Amino acid sequence: MLPPLPMRNSSKGKREAILDLSKYVNERIRVKFTGGREVTGILKGYDQLLNLVLDEVEEEINEPEPQTRKLDLVVLRGPTITLLSPVDGSEEIANPFVAQE
């Protein structure tokens, strides 16, 4: 007979989120995903797994031609997010480690 499995210790406490997104609630943010998708929208909520709720979302589609698609309220899964940044106060720069053609 196998010994009983130890009970989980509930006094360990909750896991805390890696990022403090509270200062970005009701602010416009940009989110990039694995696979290349990119959206911007107003952060309405989040959880400890980095699942996000965005409102007034615009998805930027780059293939075959650059265009945008407007969406309303969207839930984004945390494990698929690769980059998260505020829209205001940031700008995209060229990668200095990539050889220029």
Asked if residue 6 is part of any domain, the answer here is no
Asked if residue 2 is part of any domain, the answer here is no
Q: What's the predicted TM-score (pTM) here? A: 0.69
Q: How many domains does the chain divide into?
A: 1
Rounded Cα gap, residues 35 and 42, in angstroms = 22
Q: What is the pLDDT of residue 8?
A: 55
Asked if residue 1 is part of any domain, the answer here is no
| Residue 79's CATH number | 2.30.30.100
Asked if residue 100 is part of any domain, the answer here is no
**pLDDT, tens digit, 9 for 90 and up, residues 5-29:** 555 555 556 666 567 889 899 999 9
Q: Which domain holds residue 47?
A: 19-85
Q: What is the pLDDT of residue 15?
A: 61
Q: What is the pLDDT of residue 76?
A: 95
Ranges of residues in the chain whose predicted pLDDT is under 70 = 1-18, 90-91, 100-101
